[in-house]
Amino acid sequence: MQRISPCLWFDDQAEEAANFYLSIFKNSKIKSVTRYSEAGPGKPGAVMVIAFELDGYEFVALNGGPLFKFNEAVSLSISCQSQAEVDHYWSKLTAGGGEESQCGWLKDKYGVSWQVVPIQLTELIGSSDAPRVKRMTQAMFKMKKLDIATLVGAFNA
């Protein structure tokens, strides 16, 4: 068991969101479901907490009511090996009402913020060649979904 797990606070969509994420990430599963009892505060039988695993990483989703909303201060970052992976996660996570943002950031239909990041970006941005990094960064600032070929092209220009 992983010692630290993100807990995502939903109004009443925790189970729906967990199943949505499971449909996107391979090697994922529901680990446990805890339901509200007669003691409340939720409707008896409704999901209170659902523990799930996405590609080996554990998460908890809580149906805590409408008090708190997600924002960009916390995001989940996906390291992608290829443009095909970037495209896959981008299209799946924005489906059904998600919102594209800038520089590889998006919000899914539940309001959870994600970063879909090709590993090549991390490699390029870590270069000690400041002019090349600047060109690549300027190209990135014009993008919503990151395009590896364009980033590499700007770096090598």
pLDDT digits (tens, 9 = 90+) for 83-113: 999 999 999 999 999 999 999 999 999 999 9
Domain formed by 1-68, architecture = 2-Layer Sandwich (3.30)
User: Where do the structural domains in the chain lie, given as residue ranges?
Assistant: 1-68, 70-157
pLDDT attached to residue 98 = 98
Tokens encoding 65: 């009511």
Predicted confidence band of residue 132 (pLDDT cuts 50, 70, 90): very high
How many residues does this entry show for the chain? 157
pLDDT higher at 42 or 48: 48
Backbone angles phi, psi at 143, to 5 degrees: -100, 155
CATH class of 70-157: alpha beta
Model confidence over 72-82: pLDDT tens digits?
999 999 999 99
Sign of CA dihedral 35, 38, 40, 45: positive
pLDDT attached to residue 36 = 94
Tell me what percent of the residues of the chain surpass a pLDDT of 90: 96
Model confidence over 20-42: pLDDT tens digits?
999 999 999 999 999 999 998 88
Q: What is the pTM of this model?
A: 0.93
Distance from C-alpha of 18 to C-alpha of 14, rounded to nearest angstrom: 6
Which residues, 6+ apart, have CB-to-CB distance to 31 below 8 Å? Answer: 51, 52, 53, 58
Parallel, antiparallel, or unpaired: how do β-strands 29-35 and 99-100 relate?
unpaired
Sheet holding 57-63, edge to edge: 7-10, 57-63, 47-54, 29-35
With vertex at residue 49, the alpha carbon angle to CA 59 and CA 57, rounded to the nearest 5 degrees, is 10
